[in-house]
Every structure is written in C-alpha cells, then in structure tokens.
Structure 1
Amino acid sequence: MKVDYKNFEIEVIDDENHTLNSTKNLHQYQTVYCEESEFHSVSKHGIIIKEHGIEISSLIIHEFGGATTISDDSFIIEDDKIWIRICNKIYCFSIPNLELIWHKEFDFATNFSFHKLENDFIIYGEVEIFRITKEGEIIWRFGGRDIWVSVDGKNPFNIETDKIRLCDFQSNEYILDFDGKELEFNPRIIETANKKKWWQIFG
C-alpha cells in the first residue's frame, strides 16, 4: 500500500519471500529487524520511504506469533511517525528516517487491526481489545468469554459513534464505551426445538 505524507511517498508491503543476508531479495532494505531466527518468522512487513522518487529510508520486520498481512487498518501515519502492527506487536518509527521509537507486544495471539480513537489507538486483538497511547502505554484492555472471532457472519469488532460493539466466538455480544466500561452484555440465545411429548405423537 502506498500513502502520500507531506513530501514523502510511504509504501508498506508484505515481503514474505525476504531472506536474511540474501542478494536475491526483491528489495534490499537499509535496516532489518529480526529478534528471533528467520525460520520462526510468520510475517514480514516492509516500509519504504521515498522523496521525489528517491528512496531515503527502508526497513523490514520479521516477526513471529499470529500471522498478519498488510491492509489499510494495519498502520497509522501522523505526527511524523508510523505505527505498524505485525503479529501481536506494535512498532513505532520516526518519519522519514525510520528510526525505532518503541515496540511492544500486546495481544497474546495476534493483533487483527489497529485504529485511531480520539487521541489514542485501539487494537483489535484475537484475545483482547486494547486502548493504548501513542507511546504504547495501555489505558485499558478488555477480554470476553471467548476469542474475538465470529463464526455466524456477525462483525466481531466495530467502532461506532460513541461505543465499541464486539462479538465473540460463542456469538455473545458486548458493548463498551470508549473508556472500556461494559455497557451491555447480550449472551447468545440458544433456541431449542419444540419437541412433542410421546403421547402427543401417538395420540
């Protein structure tokens, strides 16, 4: 994905074929972040910044955890910084030199998406929902009775005008305010078949 920011063109990509120290990589990044062996990497996301068509900085992150891909809700750019989620981590880099400001693990499994909320961020994780500051401090976190994945077609995570609506794997619905307070809990209703008694069947 390409985004124009000030005088810069910022490209954020999946580069799953990237191999450490190989001259055959599609792109030769200026910086590589890989805390574990690359054989443990499940996601590899790259950032390339150009000015007037000339690359001025680039990096790639190798991470492990729940696999992620790049979409429009996987990174946020503002205040001369880029925040990017990869697996269950968030990384924050400066723009345009891409120096690491901070990185931190949040959800135990994976961070599905990353959103702006007022002056903070919301992380939609598989196990928990987090509201964090731009510095990576947790303001609140919320977990339900099951993971935040829906199997019946409901949207498991939605930010509305003044609330957050969640649906877990068991189809229980939760409504939170922006302070993380649970306003409503609507448990799944299991409909039972109206079975006839034996004397009604043979009567």
Structure 2
Amino acid sequence: MKLNYKNYEIEVFDEPNYTLNSVDNLRTYNKVYFTGKDYEDRFQPTSKHGIIIKELSTEISSAIICEIGGGTGIFENSFIIEDDKIWIRVCNKIYCLELPNLELRWSKELDYATVFEFHKIENDFITRGEMEITRFTKNGEIVWSFGGRDIWVNTKGKTELSIENDKIRLFDFESNEYILSFNGELLEENLNIIRKETKKWWKIFE
C-alpha cells in the first residue's frame, strides 16, 4: 500500500518471504525490529511488515517489523500516519516509528492474541483485538480496555467496531451488541439470544 505524506512517498507491505539473519533475502532493510530475538524459543516470527520511505523517488530509509502472535496483513486500518510518525499494528502489538528515519519510539502489546485494526478517536487511537477493545494514547498509554462475551470477530456480516458520533458500536462473535461511550463506559448491551433446538427423547441417540 502506497501513500504520500508531505514530501515523502511511503510504502507499507507484507514481507512473508523475508528470513531473519539471511543473506538470501531479495531486499535488505536499514532497520530490523524483532522482539523475539531475545528469546531462544521465539525465533521464527509470524508476521513481517516492511516500510519504505522515498523522497523525490529516492529511497531514504526502510524498516521491517517482525512479530510473533496472531498473523496480520496490511489493510486500510493497519496503520496511521500523522505528526511525523507512523503507528502500525503487527500481530498483537502497536509500533510507533518516527518519520522519515523510522527510528522506534515505542512498541506495546495491545491484545493477548491479535490486533485486527485500529482507528483515530479524538486525540487517541482505538484497537479491535481478538479479545479486547482498547483505547490508547499516541504515546502508547492505555486509557481503557473492554472485553465482551465472546471474541471480536463476527461471521454474520456485522461490523465489529464502528465509531458513530460520540459512541462506539461493537458486535462480538455471537452478534451481541455493545454501545460504549468514548470513555469506555457501557451504555447499552443487546444480547443475541440463540435458540437451540431441543431434541425429542426418542431422537437423543440419532
């Protein structure tokens, strides 16, 4: 995915074939970020996302972020660019890098499993993780988190997280609906009652 910011052209993309510490990679990066390098049992990353910065068509910096956790790709709500920074989610973490040099400002785990997407909310951000909805500041400070009755994945076509005026509307896996204030207060909860068919006694063993 490519976009322009000030005088820079920024490209953000998946790098599934990149191998850490290999001389056979098709591309080399100025910076490689991988928290798993400190743990012997966490050598192979799950997701690898590359960032390239160009100015006047000339590459001036590049970085690859490798992480372990629920796999992620690059989509519309995978990263946000403003204030000479890029915030990007990789697996279950958010990384904040400076522009254009791509120096790491901070990284933080925002969900136990995976962060699917994140959005602007007032002067902060809000993530939809598999387990938690979390509001956090641009400096990585968690403001509040909210967990539902099930995971934040809906297979019935409902939008799991939407921001509507001054409220946040959520749907979980079972299509239970939650409406939160921007302060994380639960304003309304509408449960989806799933009716299960009761078998007749003579059909129990069918």
Asked if these proteins are the same fold (TM beyond 0.5), I'd say yes
CA-CA distance at 1:62 after TM superposition? 1.0
How big is each residue's C-alpha offset from its partner over 1:158-190, in whole Å with a ceiling of 9 and x where there is no partner? 121221111111221101111111110001123
Using the size of structure 1 for normalisation, the TM-score is 0.91
Residues 1:100 and 2:104 are matched in the alignment: yes
Using the size of structure 2 for normalisation, the TM-score is 0.89
Tell me which of 63, 67, 74 is aligned to 1:70. 74
Query: Which residue pairs with 1:33 in the alignment?
Result: 33
Residues 1:8 and 2:8 are matched in the alignment: yes
- Distance in structure 2 (CA, Å) of the matches to 1:65 and 1:191: 34
Query: Which residue pairs with 2:134 in the alignment?
Result: 130
Percent of aligned positions with the same letter in both sequences? 63
- Distance in structure 1 (CA, Å) of the matches to 2:10 and 2:79: 11
- Distance in structure 2 (CA, Å) of the matches to 1:82 and 1:192: 47
Unaligned stretches of 5+ in structure 1?
Answer: 196-203
The 5 A counterparts of 1:1-203 are 1-36=1-36, 39-191=43-195
How big is each residue's C-alpha offset from its partner over 1:119-170, in whole Å with a ceiling of 9 and x where there is no partner? 1001111100011000000111100111111122222221212211111112
Pick closer, same or farther for the CA change 1:87–1:95 going to 2, 3 Å: same
Task: Give the ranges of 4+ consecutive aligned residues of structure 1 lying more than 6 Å apart after TM superposition.
Answer: none
- Distance in structure 2 (CA, Å) of the matches to 1:191 and 1:126: 25
User: Of the two, which has the highest radius of gyration?
Assistant: 1
- Distance in structure 1 (CA, Å) of the matches to 2:61 and 2:196: 60
Structure 2 SS opposite 1:36:
helix
For residue 97 of structure 1, what is the amino acid of its counterpart? N
Query: Which residue pairs with 1:198 in the alignment?
Result: none
For residue 100 of structure 1, what is the amino acid of its counterpart? L
Return 84-93 or 164-173, whichever deviates more.
164-173
CA-CA distance at 1:27 after TM superposition? 1.7
- Distance in structure 1 (CA, Å) of the matches to 2:65 and 2:167: 33
For residue 55 of structure 1, what is the amino acid of its counterpart? E
- The Cα RMSD (Å) is 1.7
CA-CA distance at 1:39 after TM superposition? 4.5
How big is each residue's C-alpha offset from its partner over 1:46-96, in whole Å with a ceiling of 9 and x where there is no partner? 111011111111010110001000011010100000000000000001001
Structure 2 SS opposite 1:70:
coil
Return 31-40 or 156-165, whichever deviates more.
31-40
Structure 1 SS opposite 2:36:
coil
- Distance in structure 1 (CA, Å) of the matches to 2:23 and 2:167: 49
